[in-house]
Structure formats: structure tokens, C-alpha cells
Structure 1
Amino acid sequence: MIDFRYHLVSIVAIFLALAVGIVLGTNLLQDPAIKTANEMTSQLTRANEELRGQLETMKAREQDHQEFVTALTPQLVRESLAGEQVLIVEPPGAGTTYREATEQVLAEAGAKVTGRLLLLEKFFDPKSAGVLDGLVNQLKPAEMTFPATATVHDKAATLLAATLMTTDTATAGTPSETLAAVVDGLQTGGFVDIDGDALNRATLAVLYAPDVPYEGDDAESQVAALTSVAAGLDAGGRGAVLAGAAATSAAPGGAITALRDDGEIAKRVSSVDSADMPEGQIVIVYALREQVNGAAGQYGTGAGAAAFQPVPPTPTPSSTESGS
């Protein structure tokens, strides 16, 4: 019989053999393994430096591109919207960076911004729909009627359009008779606010999509509310454009996506999903000009865009040009 000491000696011998094997193996493989690791590290470092250099080059080219477009913008939009009055509309979550840039381009195009209407979170809250509906019915003129199928936001959009928009350039830039009562009532109810002292009637409207698409159970109704406002303002004036960035507003769940998916609204309201680019701000002007001329289109780089910009109108030859 093999006694316990034999077992113990055998086990110790096995572990000793394993330890010796590990030591020998490590010594044999140490130099090649370290060399391989060093070579790989060097390759990754070089690749990273190359990519960083390419990124810096792309950033510099993009900066040059933006400066070039910005410098040409006054020439590209000059007198495109001469005499037009534009209302700016912002829902919660709309950024200010490209809105401010667009306002400058609108001014360079000859348009005047009549003011900014802020749609507050309560305006989009389904729980407040009943209150909003009652307030709209209270504030609307007696002669104003709504279709039987109109949603509460369709009704609110119709009231806002009748108050803030006009197709008559002679009355643009002046307050309507009902403006104070309607705006004050909706402000008191917590549904809207204004940036500035007052709003005057506009012929055109630019609405901005939220920087982040709506999420959650109420997302569909919230984005529908914004497209209703866009459609209502378009109907009350000479046109409307919904603007935003392709990565967000033209993505699934985005406001521009919802507008483009609604065939009826898309026939009348234009969208521009490149508002975060200098050239996109020019496209907003072109899209508004197209609206004044009675047409609409979906522009930009995102899903559903028909083209980057409207087809430019053919220039009228001046009387000083000689024929061939």
C-alpha cells in the first residue's frame, strides 16, 4: 500500500514541476512577447497621431468653409425677403446658437423679425390639454369656428395664426386687434411666453425643432402639437418653415421627420434640417422665399429631404446687358 507520505511527495513534485515550467516558459517567451507588445504600441501610437492630424485638418477646412460661406451670405440672400416680417417660434429644448445666426441672415435678406413666441412645456403637456382647449374657446373671436376633427393644438394654432400672422403686407408689422388679449391670456395660463415687449403680425414664420427629440409616452402627441402649430401659422400667413439639425430633428422621433411623414402638412410647410450650418441658414431664407411664391419643399441632408436647397430662381437680365 502506498502511504500518505508518498502521496504528499508526489503532489509536491507535481507543483514543483509546474512552477519550474512556468519560470522556464516565461523566460523563453519574455523577450518575444515584450518585443511584440512594444511594436503594437508603436503602431497604435502612429495610427492615433495620423488620425489626430487628419481630424485637425478637417476641422481647419470646416472652419475655412464656414468663414467662406458666412462672408458670401449677404450677397447670396440680398433682398430675398425684402419687406417681409418674420415670426420666430421656439418650443422647449430649441437651441439658441443657430437661431441667432439665422436671425442675422434674415436681416441681411431684408426681412424684419417681429418677435419670438416661446411655446412652454405646459403647451405640450397632454394633462393640460383640457385647460388649453377651454382657454382657446374663451379667447377666440366669436366668428372663429373649428373643424369637427380639429385637435386642441389645431385650434390653438388657428387662434395664434389669426392673432400673429397676416397675408397682407400692409398690415404686417402692426398688432392685431385681438393680439393683446390672446397673448396675455395664453401667457397667464402658462402656455406661451414672448421674448421682448410685444409681438406684431408677421407674414412668415420660422419654427425651430427641439435639439433633442421628444421621448416617452407623450412624444408622439408632443411632436404632433408642434407640427400643428407650423401648419396653422403657415395657413395664417404667407408661409412657414420648420428648421433644425439633421442629426436630431430629422432622426426617428424628430419634429422634422414627423412633418415630412405627414403628407398633407408637407405639401404646405417647408422644412430645413441643416439650420446648424451657415449654408443651411441661407437655405431657410430660400425656403421662405419659395413659400412666398406659393410652393413648399423639404430641404437638407437628413431622411426625407428632397434636395439640399430649393431651385434658385432664374435671374432677370438687366436692361444694360447686351444680347448675343
Structure 2
Amino acid sequence: MIDFRYHLVSIVAIFLALTVGIVLGSTVLQNPIIRSTQATAESIKKMNQDQRDQIAALQAREDGNNAFVSDATPELVQGNLAGEHVLVVEAPGAPSGLRDQVREVIERAGGTYTGRITLTDKFLSAEQTGVLDGLAAQLSPIGTVFAEGATPYDKAGQVLASALVTNTPLSAGTVNTATSAVLQVFQEGGFIAMSDDPSKRATLAVVVAPATPYEGDDADAQNGAIVAVAGALDNGSLGTVVAGTATASGTGGVIAAVLDSGDEASQVSTVDTLDLPSGRVALVYALREQHAGRSGAYGIGSGATAFAPTPSASPSPVATGG
């Protein structure tokens, strides 16, 4: 019969074995484990430092490239937009910090900056499509024909374009008397905001995409609204470029929507590097290319075919203002 002493001896033996194991683990195995851990830590530390050095080198190179292009921009764009009038249209959420740079590069290229139209959140609101449709019907010039199946945004874009742009150089810089009330009504209705004098029609237009893609159930419709406005401006002018940052050409972005839109994709140009000095030079070249009747997708996004259009030896022709 197993008595208490047997249990006691068994328990003592178990604790003795544990003690011996702990002693062996803390002495015989301790140094190899510590050395291995230290070596791994040193390797990770070196890898992290190498990556930090690479990031710093890439940042320094990018800063140097940006500084070089900024200094060379006047020579790179000089005369490319000579005689052209250029309108800027901002989508809701467009990066306001790029406004001055966009205007500056247009003017350095010899273009006349006519002004800025900012589309508001109300313009994109699903609850306001009926109002937009009614305004388009009310304000459209006599003889206006909307395409079969045109959406409220197609119609609103067409009416706005009639007041903002022209494809007749002699009409550049003049007000379309048939649409004199359009901008005022859209502004008073809270659908747009204006800066400078965009009523003096432009021959070329830049549509600035939002800094981050629209989200939610209405995102596709909101992208479609911006695409419709860009298409209408392109149809009514000598050319339109949709420009933004790399996020605009990513999933859910406005530039991606333009490239997927069919007709607009084959007519409207896109540039997704507007936040870079080289991207703003690309914007000027894309506007000049639009003026010549060509289009393309430029930048670093998956839909881009080149970083920028090929520079032309001769600038766009000088348009005579009416």
C-alpha cells in the first residue's frame, strides 16, 4: 500500500527535477540564447538604420529635384500658354494650398488666369439633383439641346460651361450675354463660389480633384458629377485637364473615375502630380496638348501612360482677345 512517505518522496523528486532544470536553463543555455537574441537585435537595428538612411537619401534627392525644377520652371513653360485664358474649377475637397502655385505656373506660361470656380458640397448633394436639373432647364440659353439621357450634372455642367468657357479665341475674355445670370444664380443658390472674374470666358480649363477620394454610398455619384463638369468644360472650350495628387488616381479617386468614364477619358487629359513642381510643368504641357486637340493621362498612377507630355518646340498660338 502506497503510504504518505511515498507521496512525499515523489513530490520532493518533482521539485528537485524542476530546480535542476531551472539551474541548467539559467546557466548552460543562458549564454547561447542571450548571444542569439543580441545578434538578432543588432541585425534589426542595422536594418532599420539602413532604411532610415535610404529614406533620408531619397528625400534629399526629391527635395533637390523639386528645387531644380522650381528654379527652371519659368524657362520650361515660357510661352506655352501665350494668349490663352485659363479657368480653374475646384471640386469639393480640392487642396487649397496649391491654388497660388497653379495660378503662378499658368501666368508664367503666358496664360491669362480668368478666375476660380469652387464647387460646393451642396453641388454634390444627392438631395439637390432635382434643383440642379431645374436650374439647368431654367438658365440654359435659347436653343440649348441636352443629350438624351443627360443627368442633372451633365446639364448643370453644360450650362455652367456656356458661361465660363469658349472654343472661339475671339470670344476669350468676354462675357456671354446669353448666360449672364447663370453664375449669379448658382452662387446665390450655394452651389458654387467664385474668385476673380470667371465670367470673362476662358479657352482652357483646369479641374482640380479632391485631395482624398470621396467616401460613402454617394461616392460614385459624386465622382460622376465632377467627371460630368469636366466633360462639359472640355466640350465647350479648347481643352480641359483634370489635375490632382496621386490619391486622385488611386482607387475611388476622381482621376481614376475620369479614366474609367469612356468619352471623357478619350478627350480630357489628367495629371496626378499637381503637388510637385514637375507636375505643374506637366499641367502646362497637358493644357497645350489639349489646345492642339490631343489628350493623355500623365503622372505616377496606374492609369498614367507617361509622367508628362513630350515638350513641344513651339508654344501654342496666340489667341486674339475679343
- What is the TM-score normalised by the length of structure 1? 0.90
Q: Which structure 2 residue ranges, 5 or more long, are not aligned?
A: 316-322
Q: Comparing both chains, which one has the higher relative contact order based on Cα–Cα distances under 8 Å and sequence gaps of 6 or more?
A: 2
Aligned-pair CA distance for 1:16: 3.4
Partner of 2:282: 283
Flag the 1:146–1:315 CA change in 2: closer, same or farther, 3 A: closer
Q: Give distance in 1, aligned partners of 2:140 and 2:179.
A: 11
1:114 corresponding residue in structure 2: 114
Seen in structure 2, the aligned counterparts of structure 1 residues 284 and 197 have a Cα distance that, compared at 3 Å, is: closer
> How much does 1:283 deviate?
1.1
Which residue matches 1:140? 140
Deviations along 1:177-196, one digit per CA (max 9) or x if unpaired, are: 25552122112222111134
Alpha-carbon RMSD across the aligned residues, in angstroms, is 2.0
**TM superposition shift of 1:63:** 1.1
**Match of residue 320 from structure 2:** none
Give the alignment's TM-score, normalised by structure 2.
Answer: 0.91
Correspondence for 2:257 = 258
Structure 1 window deviating more from structure 2 (27-36 vs 114-123): it is: 27-36
SS in 1 for 2:212: coil
CA distance in 1, matches of 2:14, 2:153: 82
1:191 aligns with 2:180: no
Counterpart in the other structure of 2:156: 156
On the 8 A contact 1:240/1:288 being kept in 2, the answer is: yes
Paired residues for 1:1-324 under 5 Å:
1-178=1-178, 180-196=180-196, 199-246=199-246, 248-315=247-314
Instruction: Give the length in aligned residue pairs.
Output: 315
CA contact (8 A) 2:80 2:314 kept: no
SS at structure 2 position matched to 1:271: strand
User: How many angstroms does 1:37 deviate by?
Assistant: 2.1
CA contact (8 A) 2:140 2:179 kept: no
Q: Report the secondary structure of 2:118's partner residue.
A: strand
CA–CA separation in structure 2 for the residues paired with 1:154 and 1:79: 33
Distance 1:188 1:3 in 2: 100
Shift of 1:129: 0.9
Task: Check conservation: 2:241, 2:287, Cα contact below 8 A.
Answer: yes
Aligned partners of 1:198, 1:165: CA distance in 2, in Å? 9
Task: Using the TM superposition, name which of 182-191 and 280-289 deviates more.
Answer: 182-191
Separation in 2, partners of 1:177, 1:302: 41
- 8 Å Cα contact 2:87-2:198 kept in structure 1: no
Seen in structure 2, the aligned counterparts of structure 1 residues 292 and 124 have a Cα distance that, compared at 3 Å, is: same
Partner AA of 1:254 in structure 2: G
SS at match of 1:207: strand
CA shift, 1:128, in A, is: 1.6
Kindly indicate whether the alpha-carbon contact (under 8 Å) linking 1:116 and 1:199 is maintained by their aligned counterparts in 2. no
Aligned to 1:320: none
Change (3 A) 1:55 1:86: same
Q: Distance in 2 between matches of 1:203 and 1:223?
A: 24
Return the offset for 1:130.
Answer: 1.0
